[in-house]
Structure 1
Amino acid sequence: MRRITGCLPLAAALLVLAGCGDDSDDGSAGSTAAPSAEASDESGPGEETTEPAADATCTDGPPEAVVTDAGDEPRTLMELSPTAGDTTAVDMRMTMNTTASVDGEESPSMPTPPMLMGMVLTIDDVTDDEITMTVAYDRIEVEGGDPSLQSLLDSMVGVTGTVTTTRSGAFVDGKLDTSGVDPTLAPTMQQLDSQLANLAVPLPTEPVGIGATWDVATAVDSQGFTFCNTFSYTLTSFDGDAYELGVEMAQHAEPTTIEQGGASVELIEAAGSGTGTSAGRLSFPIAGSGSSDTSTSIEMAIDDGSTQQTLDMDMDIQLELSPRE
């Protein structure tokens, strides 16, 4: 199971990483790549409740697509078949809104301006087992943002990194070179590793057809806390190369206590859900389009030795991934 390490300030990191589980899940990718609309634990009369396969669990090792329904005939093995030198450009638009309360006293909501991130991906190497590609960020903008913020974000343009997946699309490794980025933004850039991971959709390693479903679980580590994101995919369209997927995501974190900056931070509860779509081609290992809408809630208790407070935070994140015209 892939593990993505987070480095943002604690509360923001937990919420952003949980929401990205946009991927994608894996996604969220999502990933990337990833989900929309809130999911409910309750089913109405006559509705069936679908739960992720028990085998899709957050454990160490490569992520695994656990097929729960092989779908209709004819069935085909969806193995990626890119060519070294192939390139594609995509844009990702992200909006989020955060609400918080301290000891039950609500704070004003915190909407953030939509952010647009553009990237160019190039296939470097294709072996029998793995695919390696380079990613270069060529556009980072904040809609309606102030000039000073945009100037800071401009230092992120030109950042490059590498991503490795298996031939079935499972994320193996990813690393960004942030040496030239303003130190203020370096932690934010490191979070893009998780977005890249969620763009890679693990495909089944057995033949499937239209209507096939499979589950993938990923772990997201942040400052000592671990989120488990479970993505459930449904193959809605496939012509032998181009595919479209429906995605549902559920996430949770086990209660944990860590020491952070001289304070004791207890994660009491964290959970989220989302749905969305993802689309791509077997000729390229990264999803080329998709959308997601995820909601995450976190409750924490903070004790700095002199003051004890309970912090409740809710975050809604919307992602749109589109191919560059």
Structure 2
Amino acid sequence: MKKPLLLSAALILLSGFGAAPTVSSSTMPLSTQRLVQTPEAPAVREAVPSQEVQLLGAGTEPRQPLRFVPVQNARQTIRITMNSDLAMTIGGYAIPAIPTPSVEMTMDMAVTAVQPNGDIRMEFTYTDASVEAAEGVPPEVVESMRQQLQQLVGVGGFTVIDSRGRTKEASFSLPESLGAGFQQAFEQMLQSLDQLSSPFPEEAVGVGATWQVTKSLDLMGMTLNQVETYELVERQGDAVVLNVGFSQRADAQPWALPGLPPEATVNLNAFDALGSGQVSLALDRVMPIIATMSSNANMEWR
């Protein structure tokens, strides 16, 4: 049986998810927060997706390089809000849209080191996670999601990027109490933390500049190719506004869907996604000041 799936949502970074979030951040007092690894939460080092940045147009004069220049111990609080709608057709018949709760997560991030070559190490901790009830969603579903998400409070790790925003290394810890499916899903989400940062081209650019970033990702058990397109629409000193678009495509493949029993098999026939939005950055901070994006995905499996 074929099941085309349409996911719609409103974002930012990490694009790369079926439900794209709205991201906002605020600064915090300059103090360093260190993470503590425990035997119950061993560190997991993630493979960093390969990515290529290509300048398409340099924009108008004056042109300057785009580089992140945070100071050591700078901190941000990031709030990620995810809203999604789920619609499905089976055998050509449309099923009424399935309401889903709104999810909000809060993350503290601290710049713990800035190297002479411009590499930036950041440590992050999830400090809050909540689920808002939605009309038509059974209370037990909302409560189950809330209990699972609450286990993420205290989860943390680190990521290293260069001054152009390209991820070089990432590591995090997860509590073993997380269910296998939820743990794999969260690992995929953390693997996409690099999408909260917008990679810059090597060349100097001005307003109107465009560039493209291509990546190969492992997302929710599937391998896909992602193309991101950026346009510099405004720059005033270190304040930058970017228009962002992305597309994702996956070829037919066996799908290791998180949470499935070992004996269950799912084959992905096709996956395509498109998204667009806007990101506001301050170059003396690494995470967006605010970012919003909407996305649509179409998936077919059997």
Q: TM-score range with shorter-chain normalisation? A: 0.7 to 0.9
Amino acid at match of 1:94: M
- In the TM superposition, residue 89 of structure 1 has moved relative to its aligned partner by 0.6
Residues 259 and 126 of structure 1, relative CA distance in 2, 3 Å threshold: closer
Residues 119 and 155 of structure 1, relative CA distance in 2, 3 Å threshold: same
Matched residue of 2:184: which SS?
helix
Residue 210 of structure 1 is aligned with which of 207, 212, 232?
Answer: 207
- 1:231 is matched with 228
- In the TM superposition, residue 25 of structure 1 has moved relative to its aligned partner by 4.5
- In the TM superposition, residue 183 of structure 1 has moved relative to its aligned partner by 2.9
Structure 1 contact 161–176 (Cα < 8 Å) conserved: yes
Structure 1 contact 249–273 (Cα < 8 Å) conserved: yes
CA distance, structure 2, for counterparts of residue 27 and residue 107 of structure 1:
22
Residue 119 of structure 2 is aligned with which of 113, 118, 130?
Answer: 130
1:47-196 alignment to 2 at 5 Å?
Answer: 62-127=50-115, 128-144=117-133, 146-147=142-143, 149-179=145-175, 181-183=177-179, 185-196=182-193
CA distance, structure 2, for counterparts of residue 115 and residue 103 of structure 1:
31
- In the TM superposition, residue 101 of structure 1 has moved relative to its aligned partner by 2.9
Residue 219 of structure 1 is aligned with which of 205, 216, 219?
Answer: 216
Residues 213 and 294 of structure 1, relative CA distance in 2, 3 Å threshold: same
Structure 1 contact 30–194 (Cα < 8 Å) conserved: no
Residues 21 and 187 of structure 1, relative CA distance in 2, 3 Å threshold: farther
Matched residue of 2:266: which SS?
strand
**Percent sequence identity over matched residues?**
24
Residues 106 and 28 of structure 1, relative CA distance in 2, 3 Å threshold: closer
Q: Which of structure 1's runs of 4+ aligned residues deviate more than 6 A? A: 18-21, 26-33
- 1:23 is matched with 13
CA distance, structure 2, for counterparts of residue 263 and residue 180 of structure 1:
23
Mean Cα displacement is larger for which, 277-286 or 138-147? 138-147
The one-character-per-residue Cα deviations of 1:221-261 (angstroms, maximum 9, x if unpaired) are 14663121111101011122110100111221122246774
Residues 194 and 277 of structure 1, relative CA distance in 2, 3 Å threshold: farther
Residues 224 and 154 of structure 1, relative CA distance in 2, 3 Å threshold: closer
For structure 2, the residue ranges without an aligned partner over 5 or more in a row are 24-47, 134-138
- In the TM superposition, residue 73 of structure 1 has moved relative to its aligned partner by 0.4
For structure 1, the residue ranges without an aligned partner over 5 or more in a row are 1-10, 34-59, 302-325
CA RMSD of aligned residues (A): 3.2
Task: Using structure 1 for the length normalisation, give the TM-score.
Answer: 0.71
